[in-house]
Each structure stands twice: as C-alpha cells, then as structure tokens.
Amino acid sequence: MKTLVLMVSLMSSVALAEGQVASLRSHVSELDAHKRGRWTTAIKPALLALGAEAVPEMMAQLDLGHDASWSASAAEAWDASLLEAIGSYSDARAKPLFMRVLSDAGQPFIVQRAAAEGLAKLGDLEALAPVIDRDAVVEGIGSLRKLATVELLAAELAKKPGEARAKHLVHALGETGNAWAWKTLRARGEEQAVRNAAAKALVQAFVTYGGEVRQAASNALLVVDSAAAPALIAQAKVSGPAAELDALQTRLNANPLR
Amino acid sequence: MNVRLGLFVVLCAAACGPSVAEDFVTTAPIGEVVALPLVDLRADVNRDGIVELDNATDDADEETWDAQHGAVFLANIDDDLQRCPGTGTDQTLPLCNDASDDQLNGPDDLLDLAPLKTAGWANAGDGVTGGISVTPAGHVRIFKKTGADVAMFDEAMRLTTDEVRAGVELYLEGKDIVRDSESWDGYVNVTLSIYGAGATLTDTVRMRVSPVMTFHHLTPAETSYVTRVTRDSWSSSFVSSLRTLLNATPEASPLTEIPGNDIWAQDFFETGYMAMPAPNGQQHVIRTAYRSAGIETNGSSPLRAAGQIVFTKFRGKDSAGLQAYTTQQNPDSVSLNSYGNTETIPPFKLGDVDYPLGRLLRGDIPSFAPDPVLAKVFESQKVQPHVYIDTSWLLVGHVDETISFLKAPNARGWVLLINDAAMARKMLEDQVAAGNGNVQMFIGKNWYNDRTGAPYSATKTISQVLADTDVMARSAAAVAEIDAQLQIIKAATGLTEAEIIRVPFLHFTAYGYSIAYQPGFVNGFAAGLTDFVAPDPFGPKIGGVDIFKKDFEDKLTAIGYHARWIDDWDLYHTAEGEVHCGTNAARVIPSAKWWEGGR
C-alpha cells in the first residue's frame, strides 16, 4: 500500500512536472523578448523549482529541438538552461546527453559550457580532459572540485596560452577553489589541497600575465582565499614583479570574503 | 583683440611708419582727427549671456579659451518648430534637426544660436567691405541679421560698406556635437575680415561648442519615465505603484509613460543636456537624449527599436536626439550599450583636480567593450572624464547592477551605494546562528510566473540559500569582482569607507555569469533628493521585519533618504533587472557650468 501511494505520488508529480516544463517551453519567446541581458535567466531556476523528478522530461525536451519562431538567443537559453538544470541534479542518466552535446563542437558556447558543467557535477574528469582545449569546457569544469581538475587546468595554463584562454583557465581555477562553494559541500577532504593548488596556479598566472588576466587572477585568489597564498606570493617575489605582488598581498590581507 | 588704434591724426600716418591705417581709405579730410580702422568682432567672451560692444571683457583675450573666459555655442540639433518627421529609419531619423538646413527655424531658434556683433567703423571708406570666415570649416553656420530678417551669411558673402560702418549682428549655429575629438576638438575660430584698398585687417574670436553632459543624482528628476506595456497586469501594477510613490515625494516629478514592449526604460535612452551662458547667470539649455547603440537586427534600422523615441517623441523645442554607433560591434557585449551601463559619478574634487560635473562610469574593458563609436562620442565631450570598470562577469553587464549614488550630508555631498554579497551572507548566517535558519525568503514569489499559479516557486529557507553551492560560489566571485570595481572607483574619486553604503544581496549563476539572486536593491531609482525607489527584496522576516529592508532603511535614513519599496519581482527581477533598469529621468539642470570646469 505504501509502495502504491508512493508510485501514485511520483507519477502525479512527474505528470505535473511534464506539464510545467512544456509550459515553460511555450513561453521561451516571451521570456527572451523581455530579457535585459544576453539570454533569459528565468528558465533554469524555474526548472529547478520543479525538482529532480522533472529531469526525464527536461531531457526529453532537449530532444524536441527548437521552435521555428525562436530567436537564436532563445534557443541557446533553452538548451543551456535545460542542461544546467539537469546537471545540477548530478543524475548519471544524463551523461550520454552531455557527451552528445559535447561531441558537436559547433554547439553554442553556453550550451557546450552547460554540458561540460553537467559532466563536472558528475565528477567525470575523464570525459572532460580530452576536450579541455575548448574554452567552453574550461568554463564548465570548475564545479568539479578535485585536485586532478586543478592539475589539469594548471597544466593548460603552463602552456602560456593567449590572454583570452588564460582568462578562462583562471576563472575555472577560481571556481574549483571557490571558498564559499567548498563550505556548502559534504565531501571536503580535498578542500585545502584544491584551494592551495589553485592558489599556486593563480599566483603563477598573476606573475606570467598582465592586464585582464592578472586582474582575473587577483580576483580569483580572493575567491579561493587559500592559506598558502602569502607564502606563494613571497616566493613569487624572488623573480616576479615585487610591487604588484605586494599590492596583491595587501588586497588579500583585506579579503572582503572573510 | 580688435584692431583699433585709437584716435589718430591722419597727417601723422606716413611719419609714424607702416600702419594698418595706411591701407585704408578714410572719408576724413586731411588734418582732421578721425577714428582709424575698427575691426572688432565680439562674442560673449565674458560669458554673461550678452554680447557688449562697450564691455572690454567681451573683447579681452578673445583669441583664447579657458575656464575664465571664452565664448560658447550650441549644437543646434533640436527641432524648435517640431517640423521633423515622427517616423523613419535609423538612417533618416537623425538627419532632421534645426541645424540640418540653412534657415532660421522660428524665433525660438535664434535663442539656440550664439550671438556675435561687429563694431561699427563709422568712418570706413567707400568700397570697404567685410567678411566672416570660420576655421576649421564645416562645423558651424553664420547667420546675419538684416532688419527683422536673420539669414545665413556664408563665407562667399560680404558685409557692405554700410554694414561695416554700422556694425552688424551675427549668430553662430553649431551643426553637431563633437563626435571624435581627434577629428574636431569643438573649437572654432571666427574671423571678421575687413577688405579695403590693400591689406586685409582681421579680428578673431575663439569659441567652443557645448559638450553633451549626462545627469548625476544630485539633482532631482524633473520628468520620470517608465514603459507601460499594453494589457500587461505586471506593468500596469508597477507603473501605478511607481506613480503613487513619486507623487509622495517632495518633488512629485511627473511620470511619463512610454508605450511599447521594451520594459527597460533605463537602457534605450540616456538623458543629458548642452548649455551656453544666458543672461543673469543662467544657462540656455538644449536637453539631449542619446539612444542606445545596441544593434538588434540588420537592415536600415538595426538599432534597438525603442531608442527611436529620442527622435520620434523627445526631439522638439530645446530638445534633441542623438545616435552614434557602428554595426561592427562585438556581439557578445552589445548589452553594454544599454544605458544602465552609463551612470554619472556625482561632482567631487580629488586633490587639486575638480570634477564639477562628475565623471562618467561605464563597464568597459578591452575584451568586453561597448560600441567604440559611441564610446568615442562620450570621451570626446571631455567635461565628464570616464571611469571604466569591469562588468564582463555580470550576465547583463551593467554598472547599475552593483552601483548607485545618492546625495548625502557629508563633506563630499554624496555617497556610493555598492552591492556587498559578503554582507548578505553574513546577515543570513547570523540568522542561522540565532536559530532562524528555517525562516523563508521570497515567500509567494516564482522564478517564472505564467499567471496560472504554476509551481516554479522561488521560496527558500535561509539555510537552503546558504547551502546552495551555485549561489554561494557566484556570490563569492561577485564579492571579488565588486572589490575590483570599488578599487578603481576609490582611486578615481578618493572615496573612503565612510562614504560608502553597502547594499547586501546575493548572486546566482546563469550561463557562467553572475546575476542578482535577491532583488538587487542597489538598482533603484533616485527619484528626488530624499527618496530612493528600490525593489522589495522579499527577504526573511524576523519578528515581522524584513532584515534586508531594515538594514537599508536605517542606512538611508542616516543620509536623509527614504527607501520606497516596490514589487518588481515578476516584471523586472526575473527578467534580469530591477527598478532602475525600468525607469529613467530627465533631471534638473545642475548649477555647475561646464565652461568653468577647466576641461
């Protein structure tokens, strides 16, 4: 009896979720028309409000493609929002979907990013490493908060790529070592190792690059807020720009995240 | 300096050596004392709004222009007779204004022209004529008054001998604003030439066109604007609430409703003004409105359609529309061309450097920049030097998402309002520590409201919010990014912590970018000098009091402001904006005069 009640309840909620995902879909153009920024943002939190039981319907919706009347930004927002929402549930059934999206390098940046983020939330570094040369994957990998992720990103940064890619890598390092994100996680065994390793790579990026990359590295070091940062900065001063590194340390001393 | 040698005995001329006087034929008999050639072009050099032939300060150092002296003119791009068409394309609409023809467009048009006068040389000989030339060419037009008529007077025309003898009244019309100061710096040299029997005598006046200035928040709204979407209940409700709130302010500025579907009234136009000296210490003003340079489509009208309002509705008597753009924009950063990304830091002095009209604040970094043509126009105005900060991390990318300014009773005269996600997190953590972790936020609010009661609920407990990895990760990043913004603003202004009001709200992630999770109530409308209309944060209520409202109300009270809360959740917040994004204002003209600013 209990099982039956549970099943009925589950079926009922799935049916409700199906209706609501489809309802959202019918309003994508309206949401897109009223957005202030590049893409409408209301879709993902609305999908998340439907709960995990809506994941199958979200996946099914992706297969439906786009309405002919949608603008490019509406289509991108719909796909990316569905992928981000699905990814947030770390549901292994979605891996083939994420892989399928990433197999098409022609997908829009935010769509690829969302698929990479979905794999990152599944902890699937093996799936992401082969496509790490894509900036969208770099931007999506940050939520895979493992030391191996930091090592992969640091290795890419050590290749001294151009400023645009370096900035993506710096963002990802900051995300991987994000101090506030770590505090929400249950498994925190690697936290200090990840944050320290991210800080090491970020200090190196700060020394290696100038301009926007250096500023991004400085910001990311605030976000990572690693206890190892002072020693790393002091070490970098041996051959790095002393005045700039002193300013960085001064900024970290007053880290507004604390 | 005019060429006037004073009383002179003609007999003496040859014995005195070469003189300009030698080259002129006078009507005076030999032996008489006569006035020698008087070549004197006058403008409002002393900036009292009047051109005076008997006031030496309208003549002294007229060839130069600085903070103390120098004549000013306006780009006469308003439409005093309202003759311009109300419809057209992005190509045709900007072509019509009072400077687009060589006629005087009604008696009011004369007030938009800068007056000039030539002093009469009563003894000019027969055959003496005059002419007016301007360098650099092409930027202004000269008119001459003859009797009751005022007609164009171009360089090929000549002042008759009688006109040289009597003197004439001239008027200078600027054809356009400075759009690229590297091509034209806004100055013109106007020269009166007197042609006689040989050499030509000249007198030159240096003049400068008014820049276009944007408004800061230290003057109240004179007219407020909001979009009303037809048959949209959220829009109707918001407009009605806003009108009620504005009516309750001391200024009670009228609210103009803009019909249409573009709800982002802050973004598709930016108000401003041009000014030149007027009598009694006043300024004669042409209000201006830039339209957004955001490219939306292809074809003859590629720009954001709602921005046409600067030509179709705003352009009129003493009111002008402006547009500047290139179709070669970075498509990723088109949103930066919305004017939520153009705010004005109020006036201040940093060390010995005075910014009497404030400084422009825009989100602009090399890899994420707004339209370069419009940016060049802004930079070319010179009197509000820009400050650029990084907004590339924000989904929308506007400075108004994190920053605002309000008048304050401190030495500076204003405070900076800035988002502080760390403070928001701390406030929520304190509530958890106090045993209030299960108190809900966003009660009754939905992330998407299809108006059928669909369950896209946004309601969360405090503890759920603090446990949300996405919200916490993005909020931490926002703290660092805003710290970087603040470092730039502090360096540019000398702001101290005591002059900053922290506005607590968290962020969440959309497509890898950041956007306000709670209604971002820094993003409010500075309606007047005592009222700030802000989005209701729908925060957790402890003892019946919204902790975010209470914090903000207390801070605003300390500077003499009232927080006027308005529900913008469905209309604006879930669509990536807040109250400021949905409103706009033409403000009272600041008393500071740009020509005294030294730039």
Whether the predicted pLDDT of B65 surpasses 80: yes
Whether the predicted pLDDT of A13 surpasses 70: no
Percent of chain B exceeding pLDDT 90 equals 90
Whether the predicted pLDDT of B24 surpasses 50: no
Percent of chain B exceeding pLDDT 70 equals 93
B598 C-beta neighbours (distance < 10 Å), count: 12
CB atoms A178 and B510 under 8 Å:
no
- In which region does residue B531 sit, left (phi positive, over 0), alpha (psi from -120 to 50) or beta (all else)? beta
- What's the pLDDT score for residue A124? 97
pLDDT range class, residue B509, cuts 50, 70, 90: very high
CA dihedral sign, ordered B463, B465, B468, B469? negative
CB burial class (10 A; 0-12, 13-18, 19+) of residue B200? middle
Q: Is residue B378 a contact partner of residue B343, using CB atoms and an 8 Å limit?
A: no
- What's the pLDDT score for residue B133? 98
pLDDT range class, residue B1, cuts 50, 70, 90: low
DSSP B16-55: T-S-GGGGS-BSSPTTSEEE--EE-EEE-TT-SS---TT-
Distance from CA of B263 to the nearest CA of A (A): 7
Residues A131-172 pLDDT 10s:
999 999 999 999 999 999 999 999 999 999 999 999 999 999
C-alpha triplet B490, B493, B495: angle, nearest 5°: 55
- What's the pLDDT score for residue A18? 54
In chain B, which residues have their Cβ closer than 8 Å to the Cβ of A42? Answer: 447-448, 574-575
Q: What are phi and psi of B590, to 5 degrees?
A: -60, 150
Residues B523-574 pLDDT 10s:
999 999 999 999 999 999 999 999 999 999 999 999 999 999 999 999 999 9
Residues B223-233 pLDDT 10s:
999 999 998 99
- What's the pLDDT score for residue A118? 98
Rounded CA separation B188/B137 (Å): 8
- What's the pLDDT score for residue B453? 64
Q: Does the model's ipTM exceed the 0.85 cut?
A: yes
Average pLDDT of B300-329?
97
Lowest mean pLDDT among A197-211, B446-460, B569-583: B446-460
Average pLDDT of A54-60?
94
The residues that bridge with B170 in the sheet, in sequence order, are: B116, B144
pLDDT range class, residue B7, cuts 50, 70, 90: very low
Task: Output the six-digit token pair for B250.
Answer: 């001391």
More reliable by pLDDT, B69 or A10 = B69
Average pLDDT of B412-427?
98
- What's the pLDDT score for residue A34? 87
- Cis peptide bond upstream of B331, omega within 30: no
Instruction: With H, G, I as helix, E, B as strand and everything else as coil, classify residue B265.
Output: coil
All residues at 6 or more sequence positions from B95 whose CB lies less than 8 Å from its CB, including other chains: none
Whether the predicted pLDDT of B128 surpasses 90: yes
- What's the pLDDT score for residue B15? 32
Residue B512: which of A23, A46, A139 has the nearest Cβ? Answer: A139
Rounded CA separation A217/A245 (Å): 12
- What's the pLDDT score for residue B336? 96
Q: Is residue B142 a contact partner of residue B76, using CB atoms and an 8 Å limit?
A: no
C-alpha distances (whole Å) from B105 to each of B75, B100, B132, B138, B393 are: 14, 10, 22, 20, 48
- Residue B473 identity: A
Q: Is residue A132 a contact partner of residue A105, using CB atoms and an 8 Å limit?
A: no
Distance from CA of B320 to the nearest CA of A (A): 26
B512/A contact by beta carbon, under 8 A: yes
What is the H or E stretch that residue A166 is in?
Answer: helix A163-176
Name the B residues in 419-478 with CB < 8 Å from any A CB.
420, 422, 425, 446-448, 450, 452, 454-458, 466-470, 472-473, 475-477
Q: Which of B3, B1, B2, B25 is nearest to B13 (CA)?
A: B25
B292/A contact by beta carbon, under 8 A: no
- What's the pLDDT score for residue B34? 47
Q: Is residue A117 a contact partner of residue A100, using CB atoms and an 8 Å limit?
A: no
Domains of chain B listed by start with CATH number: 3-76+113-209 (2.60.40.1700), 213-267+332-596 (3.75.10.10)
- The alpha carbon of B560 is separated from its chain's Cα centroid by a whole number of angstroms, namely 26
Residues B377-411 pLDDT 10s:
999 999 999 999 999 999 999 999 999 999 999 99
- What's the pLDDT score for residue B452? 65
- What's the pLDDT score for residue B138? 97
Q: Which of B448, B452, B474 to mutate to probe the A interface, most A CBs <10 Å?
A: B448
Name the B residues in 222-261 with CB < 8 Å from any A CB.
261
Rounded CA separation B311/B468 (Å): 47
- What's the pLDDT score for residue A5? 35
Rounded CA separation B271/B314 (Å): 10
- What's the pLDDT score for residue B17? 30
Rounded CA separation B595/B591 (Å): 12
Distance from CA of B360 to the nearest CA of A (A): 21
Name the B residues in 6-65 with CB < 8 Å from any A CB.
none
Q: Which of A43, A49, A141 is nearest to A83 (CA)?
A: A43
The number of C-beta contacts closer than 8 angstroms across A and B is 154
- What's the pLDDT score for residue B2? 53
Average pLDDT of B453-474?
93
Rounded to the nearest 10 degrees, the angle between the axes of helix B469-493 and helix B421-433 is 130
Pairing of strands B541-542, B187-195: unpaired
- What's the pLDDT score for residue B196? 86
Rounded CA separation A9/B347 (Å): 63
B306/A contact by beta carbon, under 8 A: no
- What's the pLDDT score for residue B36? 72
C-alpha distances (whole Å) from B103 to each of A243, B76, B107 are: 62, 12, 11
